[in-house]
Amino acid sequence: MVHGRQKNIEKETNMKRFVTGDTQILVGTTVIEVGVNVPNASVMVIESAEKFGLSQLHQLRGRVGRGTEQSYCILLSSVKASRLAKDRLKIMCTTNDGFVIAEKDLELRGPGDIDGTRQSGALNFKLANIINDRANLELAKEAAVAICEKDPTLNLPEHQQTKLFLQTQKNKIGWGKIA
């Protein structure tokens, strides 16, 4: 067994026994989510999978399938799981692609605050929707990068309005407070 309340030496001993094959089954909390590399681990069962987010489920699932053996990740959930939880589990069952999972997570949870600490919820952009207008936002980013490469100080006549706007906004946005 491995869990967060154990002393490090006990966790390390139990993990070592699993890695060497002295122990065939390891029961653990999400303390095993990151940094555990056991190539011979081939089956993982995640209980109450509906309680985890997509990123955490993807991290957990990544603990198996590192070796040559066929591997399985079994997601157990409550029959009373919410519609949103069921949607997350369906995503996990249809793809192993971390980028696809991240995009679906963004669609389901929303991006949160761009200049705060809230990690989910709607962003209240006045001109665009970060999910629905992704292609246009990417074009805008490419245009901004091109302008910065061509005229980093925005001294060309065609960039004077942008420079003036940025100067008036300088102390209003608070980008320096982003962690």
Domain annotation covers residue 128: yes
Give the confidence band of 129 by pLDDT, cuts at 50, 70, 90: confident
d(CA 55, CA 106): 11
Domain annotation covers residue 179: no
Residue 173 has pLDDT above 80, yes or no: no
d(CA 168, CA 23): 64
Domain annotation covers residue 158: no
User: What per-residue confidence (pLDDT) applies to 15?
Assistant: 87
Do residues 85 and 125 touch, judged by C-beta distance below 8 A?
Answer: no
Rg of the chain in Å (alpha carbons): 23
Do residues 91 and 65 touch, judged by C-beta distance below 8 A?
Answer: no
Total structural domains within the chain? 1
Domain annotation covers residue 20: yes
- Percentage of residues in the chain having pLDDT higher than 90: 39
Domain annotation covers residue 164: no
In the chain the beta strands, taken as DSSP E runs, fall at 43-46, 72-75
d(CA 83, CA 79): 11
Domain annotation covers residue 113: yes
Give the confidence band of 131 by pLDDT, cuts at 50, 70, 90: confident
Lowest mean pLDDT among 21-35, 77-91, 102-116: 102-116
DSSP secondary structure letter of residue 2? B
CATH of the domain at 26: 3.40.50.300
- Name the residue range of residue 123's domain: 8-152
Domain annotation covers residue 166: no
Domain annotation covers residue 160: no
User: What per-residue confidence (pLDDT) applies to 178?
Assistant: 47
pLDDT tens digit sequence for 7-60 = 989 988 998 898 888 999 989 888 776 667 788 788 999 999 999 989 889 989
pLDDT: which is higher, 75 or 120: 75
